[in-house]
Structure formats: structure tokens, C-alpha cells
Amino acid sequence: MNKNQCAYTFSKLYDDVYVKDAYIYSIKSKNDIVIHKPVAQFMSVKKAIEDVETKKEMYELEFMSNRRMKKIQVGKKDLASRANLLSLAEYGVDVNDLNVKEVMKHLRNEIDNLKVSFIHRNVGFEEDEDKKVYFKHYKAIGYKEKSKYSGNLAVEPKGSEENWMRLIKDEVVEDTKLALALILGFSAATVGFVGEELSIESLLVHIFAESTHGKTTAAQLAVSPFGSPKLREQGLILDWNSTQNAIFGLLSGNRGLPMVLDESSMLNKKDFTNLIYILASGSDKKRMNKKLEVRPTKTWETTIISTGESSILSQSNKNTGLKVRLFEFGNIKWTKDSKQAEKIKSIVTNNYGFTGIRFVKKLLDLGKDEVIRRIMKWKSKIEEDLKENSFKGRIAMKLAIIVATGQIVNEALNIKLNLKKIKAFIIDNENKSIEDIDLPSTAYDHFKQSLVVNKSKLNKDFGDTLGVVGSSTYELWGKLEKNKHENYVVIITTKFDEIMKKGGFENTRYILQAWKDRNLLSHEKGKLYRRRIVDPKVRGAVPCYVIKLQNGDGKKQEDKKKKAKKDDKKDAVVENDESKVTKQNTSETVEEDLLED
């Protein structure tokens, strides 16, 4: 009897099977004679593995096939039924109709003696069964079990933390831009930690400049606290040219590890904008497989840094809400010179994956409430310095996450990144970028598009009771009006706020004021609204915004303003105009679409 058999005599469930050397034996008694008979070639369950995310249990099965040892991973259910067990024959497991019962008993005996090891396949923050938050890196940090990473990313620390720290002290701490790049990388964990509580989407940062400006170097520095900054070999950097599936593959399930998409100039503009939306939204809901079946939604909440030669925002000015989703840092030299770039590249590609863990431990120590408190404190400070714009609150929140991250990095790594300078730098950058974006025009486009989609909610035949009015499902937003020169949309003020909020425009007063200046708004003196009867079934006038329907972007209206002022009748929208609204131009336009039945 060998050592294994000895152990089994105490703990095994079925004592009529055992393993010895290269075979599994069954024990049978016949007429008081005990027969030991080999029934299958050697096989053994080596490991029990539990996926901490799905809670599924798996086994590592080792077996003899064609005179060599093989290992495969099987699910618990593969060993739980005859049919499933028999299907393992295709991998070479020696199981068949004749021996399946004994093989099953043998494997069951083995399972009882195994210690479970835990794995995770995703990265970043996660809540356990008791709602305790922990972080999944190459190991789980703050989890009750020792769980190991079993995914595709090179996140296991490599080289030495000292080398990395020396680089930071020598080249980064005193340098506002490189310090910012570093903080952006760490911010991924902050976003993963409290992003949901703060209702912010992933942080998306695009850095653009000409070649040899150190963009890729800065991005490599950013991801190095958490993992390999190599473009290949499963580093945290992907090529923008990678397929969307590859990009989403790396992002899905990521709640706290920075990701870089390098070199955007290769992509065409259309793909780019769509992709940015999907990336920022944190899920790839709309993905379908080849059979056009919708795949399960995969989500992420992290910081994504993109690099390229040109601005994304300037290519997609008309795209509502992009501004709040994407920060851009344009035309910045991130490195002092090529020598410094080479030094950073060389050190971070050989020494990485240490300080991200320190940072995450600090976040867990502080707890969500304290981290949120700090972010909110920075947010109100930043709002004081941020130029007025309709996304101010949300932009300030994201900038506050960056500064708060810097503060926590300083504490976790015991370094002194200059937060004051970094804060001033990002606010200044943002203020410049706000100047470039014509928010009122973007908002106007969003408003018109929303109307087209919901035109059934506008009462066209004012004064008449439309069949649908009054039915319980009918939702009335307002009505269309016209005077001699112009068509107007009269929209209930609260509905207007709702529509704009959906597009990410929080500060509707600012937008309306800008439209008023551009002669896009008909209003009572000293007000932004007019009182109107919208629904003939409901008595009395309600405050409405009376917005001119105009094609093209709102800005063009500024030029017409002078001319318009000469026309006294311009602002006098004719109330109760029962005449049919007529088409004013023949081109295919939003206005035309709205006015069509």
C-alpha cells in the first residue's frame, strides 16, 4: 500500500476504488475473494479553484493519455454527471461506458482532500459577499482569501520599487507635467473606488501633440504604478488601431487600473467619436456578436489615457456632451529632452507594478467617505477658478478627482508632488479649452435633435384639441408657433430643463442667456421665458421658453442680430396664430423635419 492509499483509508468517501502507480483500481469481492482490478489509466484532481467573481468552482485535472501527462481545467459539473464526465474522453481522459462509475468515485474521493485556491479574472475594485471593498491586482488586496490574478494583463510587479521611486524623485516630483501624468495613472483607482458614488463616468484624457513630444513616455509613466507599460506583451497600453473588441476586452470589468490607447492619428474621425462615447460611458451595451445577438454588458470605471497627434474635441465640435467626457491636453512637451524620455521609458518598462498597490491600500485605509469628502472639498475650490460653462459642476468634479488623487499619492508614497501647481495647470488648461468650445451651439443642436425625436409631443394645431391630448399616456412638451418670419418652439420650462439635462447641460440659465444674446429666444422683458397656453384642455398660461427654430448652429445667428434689430416685429411672436405652419425652405433640415407631419 502506498502513501496515498494510507491517507485515503481515513477520509475517502468510496473505499472500493483507489489509485496506484499508473492506474485506478476497483476492489470487488466475489465468494470471499477480494479482487483488485485496474479500470482506468491514472488521473488525479490536482487543484480546486474558485473564481471569486463568478463563484464558480473548477478543478485542475491531471491525467495520463498516450503515455504522457496532460492537464486541463474542468468545471465542477464536468465531474458531477456521467454524461459530462464521459465528454472529457475527447481530451484523452480514460473514461468510457464501462469504467465511468469507478472513475467518478475516484475523482470524488480526490476532491474531498483538496484545498481551494482562489482566482480573479478582472482587475480593480470589487465588493465581497459582505459588501467589503477589496482590490484585484496580481493579488487581491483587502480580500479575506488569497486570490491570484488569472487574466491577460502583465500586472505582477517587476524589477525594484526603489528604482522606480528614485526615478520619481529625480525626474517627476519637481516637474508639473510629468507629475500630472503620474497622477492621471493613479486616478484610475480613485475613479474605480468612488466613481459610482459620485455618478461620474470613466475619466478620459486625450493628450495630443506632434511626434517626439514625450506623449507615449508620459502615458507609460502613468500606468507604471500598476503594471507593464509595454505596448505589447500584455502591458496596460494598447494601440488605438487595435480592434474595438481587443480594446473592450481589456477594459471590461476594469474598476481601477489605468489604460492607455496610444496614437490616435490612425483612426478615422467618425469611429473615434463613437468610440470615445462608448469608452466614457463605461459599458459596451450595444455590442453585438456576429449573429447580431446582444452580448452581456461589460462595464468599466477607470481612467483611460489616449495619445495622438491631433485634438479629438476640435474634430467633433458638434458632439454634445463630449466636452464633459473628455479632457484634452494639447501641444505640451511632456519631457524635457530625448535623454529624459529614454531614461523614463527604460526605468518604467523594467520596474513597475509596486506603488499602485500602496496607493490602493491608502484608499482602503481612508475609506470611501473620506475620499469623497476630499474630492468635494477640492471641487468647490476648483469651481471658484473655473470659467462659467454649462458643464462646470461635472468638469470640476473630474478635476477634483485628479487633485485629490495627487494628495493621496503624496501621502501613500511619502513624496511632495506640487498640488498647487498641478491644480493651476489643469484649471488653466480647462479654461482654455472651454473658450474653444461653443457650448450654446452644441446645446442648441442637442435641443433640436431632441425635438425631432419627440415631435409627437409638440402640439402643432394650437387651439385645436388634438386627439391624443388628454389621454393618460400623452406627454405634452409644448407647441410650435410661427410669425411672419420665423418658426418657434414653445416649450414648458421644466420640460426644457429635463431635455437639456439629458444632454449633460446642467446650467440651462447660462445656455438660455447665450441664446437670448444670439437672438434665438423670444422672451418677456427682463425674463428668459414667456407665458403661454400650451394645452388647450388645461386652463391658464404656463411659463415657457420660446425658442427660435433655426438651421445651422446658433452662432451664425449672432451675425444676423443687427439686421434683426431693425425689424420691430421680429420679437413679436404671434400668439394664437391658427394658420398652418408652412415650410420655409426646401432643404432637408432639422427644422423641416420638425414641421413635417
Ligand X SMILES: Nc1ncnc2c1ncn2[C@@H]1O[C@H](COP(=O)(O)OP(=O)(O)OP(=O)(O)O)[C@@H](O)[C@H]1O
Residue 333 contacts which entry, ligand X, Mg ion, none (Cβ below 5-8 A, type-dependent): ligand X
Residue 519 contacts which entry, ligand X, Mg ion, none (Cβ below 5-8 A, type-dependent): none
Please select the residue that binds ligand X; options are 273, 335, 389, 508, rule is CB under 6 A. Answer: 335
Can you say whether residue 478 is alpha, beta or left, with left for phi > 0 and alpha for psi between -120 and 50 degrees? left
Among 238-246, 318-326, 335-343, 522-530, the segment contacting ligand X (CB under 6 A): 335-343
C-beta of 63 vs 327, nearer to ligand X: 327
Q: Which long-range contacts (CB under 8 A, 24 or more apart) does 527-530 make?
A: 529/493, 530/490, 530/573
Residue 214 contacts which entry, Mg ion, ligand X, none (Cβ below 5-8 A, type-dependent): ligand X
Would strands 147-149 and 116-120 be described as parallel, antiparallel, or unpaired?
parallel
- Helix/strand/coil for 384: helix
Grid cell in block for residue 453: 425625436
Least distance from ligand X to the Cβ atom of residue 160, Å: 23
C-beta of 345 vs 548, nearer to ligand X: 345
Dihedral through CA 567, CA 569, CA 570, CA 575, nearest 10?
A: 180
* Cβ pair 235, 156 in contact under 8 A: no
Residue 570 contacts which entry, Mg ion, ligand X, none (Cβ below 5-8 A, type-dependent): none
Grid cell in block for residue 402: 485628479
Report the candidate in 253, 124, 137 with the shortest Cα–Cα distance to residue 192.
124
Residue 213 contacts which entry, Mg ion, ligand X, none (Cβ below 5-8 A, type-dependent): ligand X
Residue 535 contacts which entry, ligand X, Mg ion, none (Cβ below 5-8 A, type-dependent): none
306 binds ligand X (CB under 6 A): no
C-beta of 211 vs 586, nearer to Mg ion: 211
Among 167-175, 239-247, 337-345, 366-374, the segment contacting ligand X (CB under 6 A): 337-345
C-beta of 215 vs 530, nearer to Mg ion: 215
In the chain, how long is the greatest CA-to-CA distance?
Answer: 119
Least distance from ligand X to the Cβ atom of residue 177, Å: 10
C-beta of 214 vs 504, nearer to ligand X: 214
Among 25-33, 142-150, 338-346, 436-444, the segment contacting ligand X (CB under 6 A): 338-346
428 binds ligand X (CB under 6 A): no
Least distance from Mg ion to the Cβ atom of residue 290, Å: 33
Report the candidate in 108, 94, 117, 113 with the shortest Cα–Cα distance to residue 6.
113
Grid cell in block for residue 9: 483509508
* Cβ pair 392, 507 in contact under 8 A: yes
120 binds ligand X (CB under 6 A): no
Report the candidate in 543, 536, 546 with the shortest Cα–Cα distance to residue 459.
536
* Cβ pair 145, 52 in contact under 8 A: yes
Please select the residue that binds ligand X; options are 16, 174, 337, 596, rule is CB under 6 A. Answer: 337
Q: Which residues contact Mg ion by CB under 5 A? A: 215-216
Please select the residue that binds ligand X; options are 172, 205, 312, 341, rule is CB under 6 A. Answer: 341
- Alpha-carbon distance of 373 to 50, in angstroms, equals 36
- Residue by residue, DSSP assigns 128-189 as -TTS-EEEESSBEES-SS-EEE-SSS--S-BS-HHHHHHHIIIIITT-HHHHHHHHHHHHHH
494 binds ligand X (CB under 6 A): no
* Cβ pair 193, 371 in contact under 8 A: yes
Report the candidate in 239, 225, 236 with the shortest Cα–Cα distance to residue 267.
239
Region 212-251 residues binding ligand X, contact defined as CB under 6 A = 212-217
Least distance from ligand X to the Cβ atom of residue 340, Å: 7
- Alpha-carbon distance of 4 to 1, in angstroms, equals 8
Least distance from ligand X to the Cβ atom of residue 125, Å: 30
Please tell me the count of residues contacting ligand X according to CB under 6 A: 16
Report the candidate in 575, 467, 564 with the shortest Cα–Cα distance to residue 520.
564
516 binds ligand X (CB under 6 A): no
C-beta of 217 vs 459, nearer to ligand X: 217
Least distance from ligand X to the Cβ atom of residue 215, Å: 4
Least distance from Mg ion to the Cβ atom of residue 154, Å: 19
Least distance from ligand X to the Cβ atom of residue 251, Å: 21
Residue 211 contacts which entry, ligand X, Mg ion, none (Cβ below 5-8 A, type-dependent): ligand X
29 binds ligand X (CB under 6 A): no
Give the residues lining the site for ligand X (CB under 6 A): 211-217, 263, 307, 333, 335-338, 341-342
